[in-house]
Amino acid sequence: MSDNAEPTSKLPRKLRKAEAISPRANDFEFLGDRVKPGQRKVFSLPAGTLYTGASADIPVEIVHGHHAGPTLLVCAAIHGDELNGVEVVRRVLTANWLKNLRGTLIAVPIVNVLGCHNRSRYLPDRRDLNRCFPGSETGSLAARVAYLFRESVLKRVDYAIDLHTGAIDRSNLPQIRVNLKNEKATQMARWFGVPIIVDSPSGDGTFRGTGDELGIPIITYEAGEALRFDEASILAGIRGVRRIMESLGLITERTRRRHVHHVIAQSSAWTRAHRGGFLNTILPLGSRIHQGDHLGYIVGPLDKERDPIIAPFSGIIIGKSNLPVVYEGEALFHIARFDAVEAAEQAVESFQTHLEEQIATQLPNRS
Ligand SMILES: [Zn+2]
């Protein structure tokens, strides 16, 4: 399936022009304060207190356009150790193309501030914030943070992009997870412009699930590994946010954009270790594999023979463990199945090549 679903209008040209001139925006009220049209402001959402008495505030920046338009939330680090999205949000906020906004951007680089302080996915109460929505005012620490974020931020927006990475010691190929039953969210997933979209029903307690309940479409961008910055994942994330902002009309000055093919995965599953030992593999993320392929090997420290890990079905590797030590049952390779696996392979290849070229332009010149 190709990414050609741009928003189009069937209105005649004159009317289309009139439609494009949206009315001047009203003040945006937030936490008892106001952001005037054309202004941006930083807020602190109080999410608890550290032992030392210092407050653990969630940083929020609101960029409010001169003209009325949709409100988009871009948030990261709901899992406190998933950092690529923190950098995506920071760079989006410094981008030139953010000028002349129509509508409002709410940017939250770190939702789970307490987890981030501890370099942990979880809150200090060992709960996963992304299982504690919609939350409660009087519940656990995680439930209170979820409640605060839902009431103060999520309820204020029309759309949301939630930025994640793989868990600790696991990397994800840049991909969008979306509930395909949610049409608006699926449209956002297509606009984002990464080659792989994975159908992922919004489970109980998740941020996306609470979006479904409120009628607010949310997509999840997954890319890279926890506690690491990965430039390709960051660049693809920034580009995706920009493409969504263009498609929603938040950015009116469109640049010529590259066509990105995307393919929707039929399903996906993790291949697990059938024994404990040391994992040897040379397959990178994005590799196309065939059923029966040896994905890698598990060996004991004195083994002379290698024990292959056999691909249970054909597909593309969209996630993998980076840790060579494994116990039986540990998740090693996340494989996505496709009807059109060749198309998926080509889409991934051209996406990766383009990102590599983009990264190469950032390298210092050596003469
Ligand atoms: Zn996550």
Q: Which residues of 211-224 are buried (b: 16+ CB within 10 A; e: fewer)?
A: bbeeebbbbbbbbb
Domain assignment present for 360? no
Mind listing the pLDDT tens digit for each residue in 59-101? 999 999 999 999 999 999 999 999 999 999 999 999 999 988 9
pTM of the predicted protein model:
0.92
Domain assignment present for 255? yes
Alpha carbon of 260 to ligand 1 centroid (Å): 24
Nearest to 155 by CA among 220, 93, 106, 98: 106
Number of structural domains in the chain: 2
Provide the pLDDT for residue 20.
56
What is the rounded distance in angstroms from the CA atom of residue 148 to the CA atom of residue 151? 5
One domain, residues 116 and 227:
yes
Domain assignment present for 355? no
What is the rounded distance in angstroms from the CA atom of residue 262 to the CA atom of residue 124? 38
Domain assignment present for 343? no
One domain, residues 87 and 233:
yes
The residue out of 248, 263, 278 marking a domain boundary is 263
Alpha carbon of 113 to ligand 1 centroid (Å): 14
One domain, residues 159 and 287:
no
Nearest to 319 by CA among 264, 271, 277: 271
Domain assignment present for 366? no
Nearest to 162 by CA among 203, 117, 110: 110
Alpha carbon of 21 to ligand 1 centroid (Å): 38
Alpha carbon of 68 to ligand 1 centroid (Å): 32
Alpha carbon of 30 to ligand 1 centroid (Å): 27
One domain, residues 185 and 245:
yes
Q: Which residues surround ligand 1, an ion (CB under 5 A)?
A: 79, 82, 164
Alpha carbon of 256 to ligand 1 centroid (Å): 32
Alpha carbon of 258 to ligand 1 centroid (Å): 28
The residue out of 209, 239, 263 marking a domain boundary is 263
Mind listing the pLDDT tens digit for each residue in 118-134? 999 999 999 999 999 99
Provide the pLDDT for residue 301.
95
One domain, residues 309 and 220:
no
Alpha carbon of 9 to ligand 1 centroid (Å): 36
Alpha carbon of 167 to ligand 1 centroid (Å): 7
One domain, residues 259 and 113:
yes
282 is in which domain, residue-wise? Answer: 267-337
Alpha carbon of 220 to ligand 1 centroid (Å): 9
Residue 315, domain CATH: 2.40.50.100
Mind listing the pLDDT tens digit for each residue in 295-338? 999 999 999 999 999 999 999 999 999 999 999 999 999 999 99
